[in-house]
Structure formats: structure tokens, C-alpha cells
């Protein structure tokens, strides 16, 4: 397993009022993303534990594009990855943002 | 009132969602009354397996099982749902302890039924001892809960089926609902083939696997009480039907266990010499038994109700 | 005196040598090896019918067992190298030289044997090329074919999987060759005559039916959200703007996703009747929902598919069927239809380079390309117009006067940026080139040449190569849809942004598609069982695809 962590300064706070949400499942080629509203508004953190070693550069590019596009301020993302492809990672991250943007507990 | 519209949307989604294909979280969200699920030890608690790290394997924050409480047509229920895609839904130490704890809580309260959405290949190999212990603890906790008057209903229709220790636990439930893709057994197809040879059981012959372990056969044999079409809404209705059917559960004790043993012994006497499930169905009086696997759900349910192999005195 | 009928005399001598083992034309299964020893001569060109799906398996085993002093050094000319016995022939020395088109399941072993010098390679052809050469310089001396049934005279019923048989027999029987058929049964009257008796010299009843591989069944349960998104991009970004009606689909999951999105996503876009009405295509089970929803008017097939027989029989308005009601397929004619009568080919590949060349060959696997290069090539001999063909031609060449401007066939490569086991689809250099260097081949095994490719579709968007004016634009258009692969990350961001403004690259949002909508609930069928339901119980999938 490999641990990776990315910190980004972002433009603004992510929408919604939910405190946390989870999407995806840990399986071959799949991943789970736990997102929690626990950070200051201008910060975003993505912590990753992945079964696929040596893909740090690709993760960095995927997370960079994601943060740029969604401006997920105040959110901490924790990922358990079973070796998902980058497009699956992007999709799950977008689903996590959509999920926590819903109103509710 | 807005609530009914919301309920209609929920039911519509549940009707359009395959139970077999859905994740454990989706199954629960659509099976229970909308938004009623409250999870115990949710993923944010990060109560992960203490063993997988040793094997350099990825963890899942809920260890592959969701436990909690919610409402079904307004009435409170305890629920557990296994995620069959994470390590085949297998029982590990934490995974098992969550279910044991839920059954303990149900026993203490006594009046709230438990729904278990099985989706498991059995015990997790990487934590075999802890997993085997968990199976034993769950079976004890379930028998104790039932003795205290709690109804425990198993819903089986996931892709990993209900195998190994999961099959044993299912056998201890008050009642089971199963769908066509659902499978219930202790030894899986590959295990049987490995131990007894391909002539005994060809695990790649999927029609044979389903004929022997699949939902339709289990329903006709009386191992499952209700057959559900493969949608979350059908499983919700099956759960409601079983809660109704069980009514005020008579005392669960030695007499009932003996009746269940007698039922199983009778089954063995009647069908022990059959070579194939089709022979059993024929012996049961099903005309054109070989076509059973092709029957649509409604026709099959009518057939199963006519055969009616379950006994309310047993279990 | 010069004789001009030597070959006929030889043919007659071969038949006479075999006749002793036959009662009429019928030879017992246990005598087949002796029959082959009597009929075949060393160095002969032999077509051992190995199709894409149907296999003359009994005859393969019989040929493998021949006495090497009687039969050796054969030159095998067959489209499919599929069974292990096909290659065992070379290991044993029965055969020496090989010309073929497709070797799916044997691709790794064939690569090892080529490297080891066990096989003297003629060429890896496309189907149409190999069939064409049957009539020019690779005409078989002996054809060993497979049919469903025969009557006592030797009339053959080849059934739904007719595939290559008429072509092989035509070339062999009319050029002084000998035709030997294995059949599943010998009957009083065949259901229909696919091959007339006067072209068949010996028939053998096999102990069990010939083997057919279900090659075209894709389980909808395995289709991913990424493939659904890619399929949505293809429908909205290619099918819709060109109004593609006549087409061929590859066999991958992305095209299966397209087939399953037609009655849902396609219907919502109002495309029914405007796209995907006529196909050159095997009977894909995934197309059942579109057929049942009234999308598809007609399908001609290369071969059949296991489990589809009853469905095809009941939908004769859509499929080609014989007077007996069963499917009549024909690979040579369907390949021709795919090349000349279709406006689009869309399929997947394993590797695409910066010029758009693509190949499924890797350094350890030589699968051959079967028909993909025939489908996936612009037909320079085409002369009839269509909306799609003219529009593509105008995009490629806006300056020529319309009456003299060639149209273009749409050749679309579709896939996810990372394939199985996270292997990138896009590469700087094809493995095929490395292989050609290692094996000293004059020609690298390229499946589809870059100059034939018009569009590349990935989950990152649609690249329209017709609109690229320079090699550099083309390279950046490809990098622009290559996602997070090394090729994609080395793109020139400014140039890619510029290409996007020009519509050369169109991303999901440019096409009004929200990637979060790419959900499995969009699929008209989400399981094999759903396909059975759509077919009204007529589709009978093979056991390995069942979960009931």
C-alpha cells in the first residue's frame, strides 16, 4: 500500500450543509471516498491509501484538476483505493462533492 | 402534504433499482422509509479491520458492513447490510462484531425486529480465526435475540450470495426472503468441485450452480419463505410480508428447534436420492420442472405458493 | 503433347485414392486420418476451416494424427488460427507455412512460435484479403470444412454460422481442389442447401457437434460508468451530428454500451430513425433492446452468435434468413458490405499512437485483425454519396469544389484512456513497430492506419481528426483526449484549449453532457437476464452467462 496526501488552497467554500458523505466501494478498480466538512473554508486536503504503487504523479494531476474545477473549500477527502483508473477517481470525487452538497445532516 | 410525493419518488426509485446490482448503502437507503437510516459506527468513525494492514491490503471505512436503525412503513427496525464487493462481503473481526452488537441491542430492547441484508462469501481468509469466532458469536447472539422474542429476517439477493458462515447464520434466522440471483449454501461451487471433483459438481456450469443453490430452488425447498423479484422495492415488500406473516412470534425454544430438525430430516428422506434439483421439483409435483429456471417472477411465485413447502411450526 | 488439364487429373486421382474409404461420399469418423493421408500430398495448400466462431475440430484432430511420411510441410491458408490443434500441426511438422487473418485465443503461442521459427509466416491478412488471395495465388488444394448437416448426396446445410464456408468451397471446388466436410448429422433432406453436393467430395459425421465460441456476448452487468460516459459522448458527438445510419460496431464494451443506450439516451435525444438503422454486424445480444424498440431496420451478419437462433428466426424482418427460417451469414459478403456500404466503423483497440495509428498487437501477442481493417478503412473505390459521407469529406477538405470532393467513411476509435490493469491506451510508439523490427517484417502489423481514423472518443471527449490541418494539430488533438496517460499529460495546454475552441476537441460539457449522469440506470438492459426479458424469452444465453 502507498500513502499520499495533497493540500490545496482553494477559492471558496464548498456548498451544502451535510457534515460528511461517502461514495464508492473498495474493490478491484474501484475506490471509496469519504468526504468531511472539517477544514477552514480556504483549505482542501486529500488523503489517499492506494493498492497501486508508484502512481503519485497521476494522482497529483487528477487531484489538481479536481480542486481547480470544483473548489471544494473546507473539505477533507479520505480515499481507500483498490487500484482505480484516473477517470473513476475523478468521477468518485465529483460524486462525493455532489453528495455532501445535498442539504441534511 | 409533501411527504407522500417524496414517498412515491422513493418507491419509484426502489422499483427501478436492481437489488442484485445495488451497493449495500443504496439497498438500505431505498429499502427503508426515505431518510430514516441512522448508522451506528459509520465510516467517519474509521473502525477498520486491524488485520488487513498486515497483508498490505486496502481497508474500507465501514469494514464492509453497515449497521443501524431505521423505519419500515413507520415502524422501527434494526438493519445490517453487507457490501458484497468489498472482499466478497466476507466476515472479519470488526465486520462480525458490528453485527453481533446489533443483535445484542435488539435482544435488550426485545420488540424491534432485525433485517439482515446478506451478501457474503463467508469468512475472510486473512482473519480466519477472528472471522470464525465472529460467526459463532453472531449465531449465539441471534438465537438469544430470537429467544427474547425478536424477529430476525434475512434478505438474500446480492452478487456474492450467502455462503460459508453466512449460510449458517441465515439458517438461524426466523425467516428468509430470496430473489432469483440470490444463492444460499455453506460450501461454494468451487469448494465442492475442488473437494469432490468436476464430475460431482462443475462450478463453471452456472445453470447447475443456480439450480442447486439459487433463489428459486431455495424457495421451492422451503429454505426461504418468500421469493422476491430482483428490485429493492420487492425486497421491501417481502420484508413487510414476512414481518406480518411471523405475527406475534411464538416462543422460540427447544420445541421449535426440534420441529426444524424434523423438517430437515423429512426433506432428506424425501429428496436424498435425487441427482439434480430438477428431480426434486418433479418429485414435488411441478409439471415441466426443467422450465422452472425460465419462469418469470410472478409465475414462479404462484407456483411456489401452490407447492408451499414452508412450515410455520419450524424455524 | 502439352496437357492443359493436369490439375483436374490430380484432383480425380486424389478423389479416387480416398474413395476406397468411403461409402458413397460418407467416411466413418475413425477412417478420417486415413482419408486425409490418401487425399493430401506433401506441400499442399490446405484450408482447415477455422473461422472466427465455427471450428472443423474433428478434422483438425484427424489431420494432426497423420503419418508424417505421407503428409508433411503443408501450407495452411485459413482465416482463423483458434484451436490449439491448429498450432500443434506446426509443432509436429505436419505443416510448415501459414497465411491467416485472426488468432485470438492462440495469439500468445503464435507469437512464441513465430519467434522460435516453428512457423514460416506468409502474411497476417484481413479477412477480405485472404479470401481474395484464395482466388489468385493461395487457392487451397484441399479444404476441410464444417457444416451442421449433409444429405447422402453431399448437399450441406451450414446453418446460422455459415461464415467462411461458401468462399472457401468456391475457391477450392472450382479450381480442381478436394472438399471434405465434417457434419453434425447426416439427414434425409437438409433444411436448406448452403453448399450444393457437386462441390463436396467427402463427408464425415462427427461424434459431437462442431465447436462454436460465443464471441459477441457482452454481459451488460460488466459495463462501467466510464464506458457509459464514453458511449454518451459518441452518440451525441459523432452519431448525431453526422446522422450515421449504416454502420458496423466492434465487439468491445464501449460499443455494447452504445447499443444499450440507443433506446434510452438516444431516444431522449430524438435520434430514433435518424441514426443506427442498418448494420453489418453479428447478432449482438446487446442490440436486442434497440431492435425491440424499433430502432433497427436491417442487419447482415458475418456469423451468428450462440443462443440467438430462436430470436433471429422470430425477427426475420431484421435478419437475413433462409427458407428454413434460420440465419444465413456470410463473412466475405458482410465484410464487403462493411467496407463499401457502411458510413461508419466504430471499435476499440489496445494501442493508439500520436499519428492515430492503432494496433491490437503487442510484443507478446499476435492476434491478427480479422475484419477490423476492412471495416476501419476508407473505401477509395466508393462512389455513392450519403449525408454522413459527404459531411465528413467536406470537413476533411473544405476547399475542393463539392462535385469533385471525395466523401469520407467515419472510422472511430473508442476506448477508455486506461484499459485493463491500468494499461494506457495511448502510446508514443506502437508495440507493433517493435515487433516488426524483432521479426524482420517488412510491414508493421498496424490494425488501422492513422490517416483512415476520423475520430477518437474517450471519456475525456471526442477528437475530430478530420478538422486537423497539420500533423502537429493532429498530435495535440490526440493528446487532448488522452487524459492522464503520459501522452495526455504531455499535451500543450494552450494548443489543446485552442483546438477545443475550434470544435476539434469536444468535451462532455461542450456536448451538454454531465459526467455525473453517466449512470448504469441509463442502460436499457443491465444484465443478461434483462436481455432475455427484452427478447420475450427467445434469447437463450449460454450457461456461462447465466445467474439463474
| B41-63 pLDDT tens trace | 999 999 999 999 999 999 999 99
Q: Which residue has the cell 422470430?
A: C314
* Residue C383 DSSP code: -
- The nearest CA of chain C is from the CA of B229 a distance in Å of 12
Q: Which chains touch C (3 or more CB pairs under 8 A)?
A: A, B
Question: Residue B308 — very low, low, confident or very high, per pLDDT cuts 50/70/90?
Answer: low
Contacts of B254 (CB under 8 A, 6+ apart): none
- The nearest CA of chain C is from the CA of B207 a distance in Å of 6
CA distance C388 to C341: 12
Ranges assigned E (strand) in B13-96: 38-40, 65-72, 75-82
Measured CA distances, C412 to B90, B93, C275, C481 (Å): 43, 51, 15, 13
The H or E element containing residue C244 is none
* Residue B109 DSSP code: H
CA distance B284 to B297: 19
pLDDT of B51 reads 96
Residues of B in contact with A89 (CB under 8 A): none
pLDDT digits (tens, 9 = 90+) for B65-119: 999 999 999 999 999 999 999 999 999 999 999 999 999 999 999 999 999 999 9
CA distance C300 to C328: 9
C46 in Cβ contact with C74 (< 8 Å): yes
What is the distance in angstroms between the CA of the first residue and the CA of the last residue of chain A? 33
- The nearest CA of chain A is from the CA of C362 a distance in Å of 21
Q: Say whether the ipTM exceeds 0.90.
A: yes
Residues of B in contact with A36 (CB under 8 A): 44
CA distance C351 to C355: 12
> Closest by alpha carbon to A88, among C459, B241, C52, C548?
C459
> Closest by alpha carbon to C377, among C248, C234, C244?
C248
- The 10 Å Cβ neighbour count of residue C419 is 16
Say if the Cβ atoms of A30 and B23 lie within 8 Å: no
Q: Is residue B59 less than 8 Å (CB to CB) from chain A?
A: yes
Ranges assigned E (strand) in C343-460: 344-347, 351-352, 358-359, 410-414, 455-458
Give the pLDDT mean for B132-137.
98
Say if the Cβ atoms of C548 and B180 lie within 8 Å: yes
CA distance B254 to B252: 7
pLDDT of B1 reads 44
Bridging pattern class, strands B38-40 and A2-9: unpaired
- The 10 Å Cβ neighbour count of residue C482 is 25
Rg (CA), chain A: 13
B42 in Cβ contact with B33 (< 8 Å): no
CA distance C47 to B224: 56
Local structure of C172: helix, strand or coil: helix
Q: Which residue of B has its CA nearest to C520?
A: B21
Give the pLDDT mean for B141-150.
95
C456 in Cβ contact with C356 (< 8 Å): yes
pTM: 0.94
Is residue B6 scored above 80 in pLDDT? no
pLDDT digits (tens, 9 = 90+) for B251-284: 788 888 898 899 999 999 999 999 999 999 999 8
> b/e map of B224-262 (b: 16 or more CB within 10 Å)?
bbbbbbbbbbbbbbbbebbbeebeebeebeeebeeebee
* Burial degree of B8 (CB within 10 A; 0-12, 13-18, 19+): exposed
List residues of A whose CB lies inside 8 A of any C CB: 52, 57-58, 61-62, 83, 85-88, 90-91, 94-95, 98
C69 in Cβ contact with C327 (< 8 Å): no
Residues of B in contact with A34 (CB under 8 A): 43-44, 61
List of chain C residues with pLDDT < 70: none
Say if the Cβ atoms of B206 and C520 lie within 8 Å: no
Measured CA distances, C177 to C47, C121, C129, C199 (Å): 11, 23, 20, 9
C377 in Cβ contact with C340 (< 8 Å): no
- Nearest CB among C537, C544, C546 relative to B210 is that of C546
CA distance A80 to C523: 28
pLDDT of A105 reads 45
CA distance C371 to C215: 14
A3 in Cβ contact with A49 (< 8 Å): yes
| φ and ψ of B184, to 5 deg | -130, 125
CA distance C57 to C49: 9
CA distance C137 to A105: 76
Say if the Cβ atoms of C483 and A95 lie within 8 Å: no
Q: How confident is the prediction for chain B on average, in pLDDT?
A: 93
pLDDT of B249 reads 58
pLDDT digits (tens, 9 = 90+) for B169-211: 999 999 999 999 999 999 999 999 999 999 999 999 999 999 9
Measured CA distances, B250 to B138, B150, B174, B255, B313 (Å): 22, 10, 11, 11, 9
Residues of B in contact with C537 (CB under 8 A): 294
- The nearest CA of chain B is from the CA of C546 a distance in Å of 6
Measured CA distances, C148 to A63, C157, C182, C189, C204 (Å): 58, 6, 8, 12, 11
Residues of B in contact with A82 (CB under 8 A): 58
pLDDT of B3 reads 53
pLDDT of C439 reads 82
Residues of C in contact with B207 (CB under 8 A): 543, 546
- Nearest CB among A22, A27, A104 relative to B61 is that of A22
Q: Which residue has the cell 443501524?
A: B68
Amino acid at each position: 500500500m502507498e500513502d499520499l496526501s495533497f493540500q490545496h488552497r482553494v477559492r471558496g467554500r464548498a456548498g451544502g450543509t451535510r457534515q460528511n458523505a461517502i461514495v464508492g466501494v473498495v474493490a478491484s478498480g474501484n475506490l471509496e471516498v469519504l468526504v468531511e466538512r472539517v477544514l477552514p473554508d480556504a483549505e482542501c486536503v486529500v488523503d489517499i491509501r492506494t493498492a497501486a504503487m508508484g502512481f503519485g504523479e497521476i494522482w497529483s494531476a487528477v487531484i489538481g484538476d479536481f480542486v481547480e474545477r470544483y473548489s471544494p473549500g473546507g473539505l477533507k477527502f479520505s480515499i481507500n483505493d483498490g487500484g482505480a483508473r484516473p477517470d473513476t477517481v475523478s468521477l468518485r470525487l465529483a460524486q462525493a462533492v455532489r453528495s455532501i452538497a445535498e442539504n441534511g445532516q | 402534504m409533501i411527504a407522500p410525493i417524496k414517498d412515491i419518488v422513493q418507491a419509484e426509485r426502489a422499483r427501478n433499482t436492481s437489488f442484485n446490482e445495488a451497493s449495500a448503502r443504496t439497498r438500505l437507503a431505498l429499502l427503508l422509509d426515505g431518510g430514516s437510516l441512522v448508522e451506528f459506527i459509520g465510516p467517519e468513525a474509521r473502525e477498520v479491520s486491524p488485520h488487513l494492514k498486515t497483508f498490505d491490503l486496502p481497508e474500507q471505512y465501514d469494514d464492509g458492513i453497515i449497521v443501524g436503525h431505521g423505519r419500515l412503513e413507520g415502524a422501527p427496525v434494526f438493519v445490517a447490510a453487507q457490501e458484497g464487493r468489498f472482499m466478497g462481503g466476507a466476515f472479519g473481526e470488526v465486520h462480525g462484531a458490528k453485527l453481533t452488537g446489533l443483535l445484542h441491542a435488539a435482544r435488550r430492547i426485545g420488540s424491534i425486529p432485525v433485517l439482515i441484508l446478506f451478501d457474503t462469501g463467508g469468512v475472510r481468509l486473512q482473519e480466519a480465526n477472528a472471522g470464525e469466532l465472529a460467526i459463532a458469536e453472531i449465531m449465539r447472539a441471534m438465537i438469544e435475540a430470537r429467544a427474547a422474542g425478536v424477529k430476525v429476517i434475512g434478505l438474500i439477493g446480492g452478487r456474492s450470495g450467502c455462503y460459508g458462515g453466512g449460510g449458517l447464520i441465515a439458517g438461524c434466522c426466523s425467516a428468509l426472503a430470496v430473489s432469483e440471483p440470490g444463492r444460499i449454501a455453506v460450501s461454494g461451487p468451487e469448494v465442492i468441485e475442488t473437494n469432490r471433483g468436476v464430475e460431482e459438481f462443475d462450478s463453471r456450469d452456472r445453470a447447475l450452480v443456480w439450480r442447486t443453490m439459487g433463489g428459486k430452488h431455495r424457495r421451492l425447498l422451503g429454505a426461504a419463505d418468500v421469493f422476491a423479484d430482483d428490485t429493492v422495492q420487492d425486497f421491501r415488500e417481502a420484508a413487510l410480508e414476512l414481518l406480518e406473516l411471523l405475527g406475534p412470534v411464538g416462543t422460540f425454544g427447544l420445541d421449535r428447534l426440534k420441529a426444524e430438525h424434523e423438517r430437515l430430516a423429512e426433506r432428506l428422506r424425501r429428496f436424498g436420492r435425487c441427482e439434480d434439483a430438477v428431480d426434486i421439483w418433479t418429485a414435488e409435483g411441478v409439471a415441466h420442472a426443467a422450465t422452472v429456471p425460465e419462469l418469470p417472477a410472478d409465475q414462479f411465485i404462484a407456483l411456489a405458493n401452490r407447492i408451499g413447502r414452508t412450515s410455520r411450526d419450524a424455524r | 503433347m502439352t496437357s492443359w488439364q493436369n490439375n483436374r487429373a490430380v484432383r480425380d486421382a486424389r478423389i479416387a485414392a480416398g474413395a476406397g474409404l468411403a461409402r458413397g461420399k460418407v467416411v466413418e469418423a475413425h477412417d478420417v486420418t486415413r482419408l486425409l493421408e490418401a487425399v493430401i500430398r506433401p506441400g499442399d495448400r490446405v484450408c482447415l476451416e477455422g473461422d472466427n466462431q465455427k471450428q472443423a475440430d474433428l478434422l483438425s484432430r484427424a489431420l494432426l494424427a497423420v503419418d508424417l511420411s505421407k503428409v508433411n510441410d503443408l501450407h495452411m491458408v485459413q482465416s482463423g488460427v483458434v484451436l490449439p490443434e491448429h498450432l500443434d500441426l506446426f509443432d509436429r511438422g505436419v505443416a510448415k507455412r501459414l497465411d491467416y487473418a485472426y488468432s485470438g485465443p492462440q495469439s500468445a503461442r503464435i507469437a512464441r512460435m513465430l519467434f522460435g521459427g516453428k512457423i514460416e509466416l506468409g502474411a497476417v491478412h484481413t479477412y477480405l484479403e485472404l479470401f481474395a488471395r484464395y482466388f489468385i495465388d493461395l487457392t487451397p488444394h484441399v479444404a476441410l470444412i464444417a457444416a451442421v448437416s449433409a444429405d447422402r448426396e453431399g448437399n450441406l446445410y451450414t446453418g446460422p454460422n455459415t461464415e467462411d464456408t461458401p468462399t472457401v468451397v468456391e475457391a477450392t471446388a472450382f479450381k480442381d481442389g478436394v472438399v471434405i466436410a465434417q457434419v453434425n448429422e447426416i439427414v434425409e433432406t437438409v433444411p436448406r442447401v448452403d453448399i450444393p453436393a457437386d462441390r463436396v467430395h467427402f463427408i464425415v459425421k462427427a461424434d459431437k457437434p462442431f465447436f462454436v465460441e460465443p464471441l459477441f456476448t457482452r454481459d451488460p452487468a460488466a459495463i462501467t460508468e466510464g464506458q457509459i460516459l464514453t458511449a454518451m459522448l459518441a452518440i451525441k458527438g459523432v452519431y448525431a451530428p453526422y446522422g450515421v445510419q449504416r454502420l458496423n460496431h466492434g465487439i468491445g464494451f464501449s460499443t455494447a454500451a452504445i447499443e444499450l443506450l440507443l433506446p434510452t439516451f438516444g431516444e431522449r435525444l430524438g435520434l430514433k430513425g435518424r441514426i443506427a438503422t442498418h448494420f453489418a454486424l453479428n447478432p449482438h445480444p446487446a442490440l436486442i433492446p434497440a431492435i425491440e424498440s424499433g430502432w433497427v431496420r436491417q442487419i447482415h451478419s458475418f456469423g451468428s452468435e450462440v443462443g440467438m437462433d430462436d430470436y433471429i428466426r422470430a425477427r426475420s424482418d431484421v435478419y437475413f434468413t433462409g427458407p428454413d427460417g434460420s440465419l444465413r451469414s456470410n463473412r466475405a459478403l458482410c465484410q464487403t458490405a462493411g467496407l463499401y456500404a457502411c458510413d461508419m466503423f466504430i471499435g476499440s483497440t489496445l494501442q493508439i499512437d500520436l499519428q492515430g495509428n492503432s494496433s491490437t498487437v503487442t510484443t507478446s501477442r499476435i492476434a491478427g485483425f480479422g475484419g477490423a481493417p476492412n471495416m476501419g478503412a476508407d473505401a477509395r473505390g466508393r462512389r455513392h454519396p450519403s449525408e454522413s459521407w459527404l459531411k465528413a469529406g467536406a470537413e476533411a477538405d473544405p476547399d475542393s469544389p463539392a462535385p469533385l470532393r471525395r466523401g469520407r467513411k467515419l472510422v472511430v476509435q473508442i476506448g477508455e484512456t486506461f484499459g485493463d490493469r491500468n494499461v494506457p491506451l495511448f502510446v508514443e510508439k506502437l508495440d507493433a513497430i517493435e515487433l516488426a523490427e524483432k521479426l524482420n517484417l517488412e510491414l508493421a502489423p498496424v490494425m488501422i492506419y492513422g490517416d483512415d481514423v476520423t475520430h477518437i472518443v474517450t471519456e475525456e471527449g471526442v477528437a475530430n481528426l478530420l478538422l486537423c490541418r497539420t500533423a502537429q494539430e493532429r498530435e495535440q488533438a490526440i493528446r487532448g483526449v488522452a487524459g492522464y496517460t503520459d501522452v495526455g499529460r504531455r499535451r500543450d495546454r494552450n494548443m489543446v484549449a485552442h483546438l477545443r475552441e475550434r470544435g476539434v476537441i469536444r468535451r462532455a460539457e461542450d456536448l451538454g453532457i454531465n459526467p455525473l449522469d453517466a449512470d448504469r440506470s441509463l442502460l436499457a438492459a443491465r444484465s443478461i437476464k434483462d436481455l432475455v426479458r427484452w427478447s420475450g424469452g427467445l434469447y437463450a444465453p449460454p450457461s456461462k452467462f447465466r445467474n439463474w
